[in-house]
Amino acid sequence: MSSSKTPVVSLIAAATMAIAIAWTVTQINSVPASAPVTSVVRPAPKPTWAASAAGRVEPRGGEIKIGAQTAGRIADVAVKINDTVKAGDLLIRLDDEEASARISAAEAEAAVRKRERDAETVGRQAQDRRNAEDAVAVADRALTQARADLDAAVRGRSSDGGAAADLTAQRAAVKAAQDKLLQERDGLRRAQIVAGIPLPTRLEAALTAARSDLSLAETALERTRVRAPSDATVLQINARAGETATPSAEQTLVVLGDLTALRVRAELEERDSAKVRVGQPAAVQSDAHPGRKFEGKVVTIAQAMGPGKLAQRGPRRPNDVEVLEVVIDLDAGSGLLPGMRVDVYFKPDATVQNQADAKSN
């Protein structure tokens, strides 16, 4: 009996499905062909960044890598890492025994020549020239002595924590001696161009030659001193007492940097070179500070493409990509350290966009 009901059930199910399909087709056909199809149009999202680039943090003015001016044995390292130095401060002293001996010999020769010259009587104009020459010689020796006193004060700070007041006073003395030397040299030039002044005598010429030898000896001594070219902080020291220093670009003895402000040197790809301008705001991110963004502003844009330096290893290859160097000044108190690799994101700028639109039109 159940087998006889199966065909009936199947027929009922098939009829029901046919009715449903027919109703669906009727509903579709009842929609006018001209009825508009509505859709939601969303505006394109604005770009978060105009361009991005890799960069490296560096001190204001960049890192200053200092080497030796002459070959010699390192006798003394007068500073430590993180020391704050001023322009002219001693960093490293090379062995100076030979230079000091030459100075002693030149001083003795100059003293003899001066005594011989002073025994000779000359006119008023020639005497004025002599006085000006003597004033320059005295000022030159005073500057040498002031530098020696400053060097001693710097070494004292390094060894036993000497007072900062002593360093300040010695720096002021060096500055005063430099100004005095410039003043006396100006006076000598004025004395030498007086109308009708006689030519130097043999004794005067001999003294001038002796003093020139003394100046050369002092210059040789000064070359054994590695000094700070500007106010900065000691970042690296690659020298130890007893090592030999050579005047080579590959041998950097001390690395300095001005940490009063930091900047980022970024390398922008060629396709993004038109998206950045001076004054454009930028954000800097570092893996050392996840989740933080450091604000900055573009201050310099190179005027030509060049080879990248951030990831440069070994000689340049023909397929290396040219980049545009961009410098970004960071806001104070960022907490970043020189040498850190960072990512730089340049914020959209209306001025740059308007310039791009004008060029396209």
Q: Which two tokens stand for residue 72?
A: 């010699």
Q: Is residue 63 predicted with pLDDT exceeding 50?
A: yes
Contact 285, 328 (CB under 8 A): no
Q: How far apart are the first and last CA of the chain?
A: 86
Q: What is the pTM of this model?
A: 0.74
Average pLDDT of the segment spanning 272-282? 93
| pLDDT interval class at 333 (50, 70, 90) | confident
100 vs 42, higher pLDDT: 100
pLDDT digits (tens, 9 = 90+) for 239-276: 999 999 999 888 999 999 999 889 999 999 999 989 99
CA 41, distance to chain mean position in Å, is 51
Closest CA to 353 of 267, 277, 268: 277
pLDDT, residue 29, reads: 57
- Give the residue extent of every domain in the chain: 51-57+261-360, 62-245
Contact 261, 332 (CB under 8 A): yes
DSSP label at residue 183: H
Average pLDDT of the segment spanning 288-303? 92
CATH superfamily of 51-57+261-360: Efflux pump adaptor protein, beta barrel domain (2.40.30.170)
pLDDT digits (tens, 9 = 90+) for 300-331: 999 999 888 886 544 445 446 789 999 999 98
Contact 266, 54 (CB under 8 A): yes
Angle at 95 between CA 91 and CA 99, to 5 degrees: 110
What whole-number percentage of the chain has pLDDT above 90?
A: 67
pLDDT, residue 316, reads: 45
| pLDDT interval class at 116 (50, 70, 90) | very high
Closest CA to 85 of 146, 168, 24: 168
Cα atoms found within 13 Å of the Cα of residue 22, Cβ hemisphere only: 6
For residue 11, the one-letter residue type is L
